[in-house]
Amino acid sequence: MTGILDKRLKDIEQTVSEGRRISSEDGLYLYENAELGYLSRLACLVKERKSGKHVYFNHNFHIEPTNICIHSCKFCSYSRKVNQEGAWEMSLEDILKEINKFRDLKATEVHIVGGVHPHRTLDYYEDMIRQIRALNPTLFIKAFTAVELDFMFRKSQVSVEEGLSRLKKAGLDAIPGGGAELFDEELRKMICPDKTGSELWLSIHETAHKVGIPTNATMLYGHIEKYEHRIDHLNRLRLLQDRTGGFQVFIPLKYRKENNALGIIGEVSTIEDLRNYAVSRIYLDNFPHLKAYWPMIGKEIAGLSLSFGVDDLDGTIEDTTRIYSMAGAEDQNPAMTTEGLVTLIRSSGLEPVERDTLYNTLKSY
């Protein structure tokens, strides 16, 4: 058995070393059989081809306009119904105050995601983007998951292409990767049965790429899925990226157990987090970047992830998101200074680079 195992892993290593694509069967084999040291070596090889010794971050903040949501995902600790205790809705005036505050702090990106509010239409969000753009013309606006977009377009009775074109004209620059969860339809029936389906999620991102809006991609891992589900998810992303080239970065998102219906299952280990980063980096050969979202896994594990193919740590955040703190993440008030991010990256022997949302270099350290 050892000889067979060694031969298969040796063949995969040769494939990756030669810059060729591994198969889904290879990816599954890595998840099930490869040791961490082996995965680290291959993932770092792929990472260095993509971005050398650079590790990226940006000066960003989040706005979460509401946590009121029509969906009832079993993994979610964040959403509430109308008038439920803990629900919130920011007014447009509140949102613009936040934009103004961070303009003075010279942030370069705002990340806007929230619940799927039952009463808000495309017109509302279009006006929001337009007013943000007028207030801060240079701020990069990354906003609305495919799940939010799906609902606002259906509620407003417009096509996905028309809706995206209108938002782009209003000032939308990019779309985050949330709402993907895991693409397997049977699994989705168990964890998010009423949510935008996998094919529609992919279609919305493909249409965004078509109209010139770059997007991110995510995967929610570490709950009831199996390795086969992860590989299926990665493969669908890789196939779409082959067609469009419109994804900027892949972001594995770890399931956190507090305050949600799946909590009894617990959480996966740090070793599993690192394994997942590495296999993702090796498998997604056509994705330019791999991000470790530090508010989700904590600063220490984010630092370790840099040895498993990660080349992006997101940004300063400025204590502006509650999605993972409500689910039990280590950082209950997530914020990092530029100096903190630079130190974290340098401690791994890598080179910190402050970027804009499109990965253009703003400053090297």
Identify the CA nearest to 356 among candidates 155, 28, 88, 108. 108
Mean pLDDT, the chain, integer: 90
**pLDDT at residue 252 greater than cutoff 60:** yes
Given pLDDT bands bounded at 50, 70 and 90, which one contains residue 329?
very low
Q: What's the pTM value of the predicted model, to 2 decimals?
A: 0.92
Contact status, residue 183 vs residue 238, Cβ threshold 8 Å: no
Contact status, residue 205 vs residue 250, Cβ threshold 8 Å: no
**pLDDT at residue 2 greater than cutoff 80:** no
Write the CATH number for 289. Answer: 3.20.20.70
- Rounded to whole angstroms, the Cα distance separating 272 from 274 reads 5
Helix (H, G, I), strand (E, B) or coil at 249: strand
DSSP 52-86: TTEEEEE-EEEE--B-B-S---TT-SS-B-TT-TT
The structural domain count of the chain equals 1
- Rounded to whole angstroms, the Cα distance separating 249 from 269 reads 23
Token reading at 62: 């989040």
Radius of gyration of the chain (CA): 20
- Rounded to whole angstroms, the Cα distance separating 68 from 248 reads 29
Token reading at 133: 């753009």
- Please give the pLDDT value at position 1: 40
> Each residue of 194-232: pLDDT tens digit?
899 999 999 999 999 999 999 999 999 999 999 999 999
Contact status, residue 307 vs residue 71, Cβ threshold 8 Å: no
Given pLDDT bands bounded at 50, 70 and 90, which one contains residue 327?
very low
- Read off φ and ψ for residue 277, nearest 5 degrees: -60, -45
Given pLDDT bands bounded at 50, 70 and 90, which one contains residue 319?
low
Identify the CA nearest to 170 among candidates 145, 146, 210, 141. 141
Identify the CA nearest to 176 among candidates 113, 239, 221, 242. 113
**pLDDT at residue 266 greater than cutoff 90:** no
Question: Contacts from 152-156 at CB under 8 Å and sequence distance 24+?
Answer: 152/120, 152/121, 152/122, 152/124, 152/125, 153/122, 155/120, 155/121, 155/122, 156/121, 156/122, 156/123
Looking at 160-164, 251-255, 294-298, which range is the least confident one? Answer: 294-298
Domain span including residue 85: 2-364
Return the amino acid letter for 201: W
Contact status, residue 108 vs residue 59, Cβ threshold 8 Å: yes
Return the amino acid letter for 199: E
- Please give the pLDDT value at position 58: 93
When pLDDT is averaged across residues 302-328 and rounded to a whole number, the result is 75
Helix (H, G, I), strand (E, B) or coil at 283: helix
Given pLDDT bands bounded at 50, 70 and 90, which one contains residue 87?
confident
**pLDDT at residue 78 greater than cutoff 90:** no
**pLDDT at residue 287 greater than cutoff 60:** yes
When pLDDT is averaged across residues 72-80 and rounded to a whole number, the result is 73
Percentage of residues in the chain having pLDDT higher than 70: 92
Token match 């105050």: residue?
A: 97
- Rounded to whole angstroms, the Cα distance separating 201 from 208 reads 11
> Each residue of 89-135: pLDDT tens digit?
999 999 999 999 888 778 899 999 998 999 999 999 999 999 999 99
**pLDDT at residue 51 greater than cutoff 50:** yes
From first CA to last CA, the distance across the chain in angstroms is 48
Q: Residue 32 forms beta bridges with which residues?
A: none
Looking at 86-90, 164-168, 227-231, 307-311, which range is the least confident one? Answer: 86-90
Token reading at 26: 């290879």
- Please give the pLDDT value at position 326: 46
**pLDDT at residue 249 greater than cutoff 90:** yes
Higher-pLDDT residue of 98, 266: 98
Return the amino acid letter for 100: N
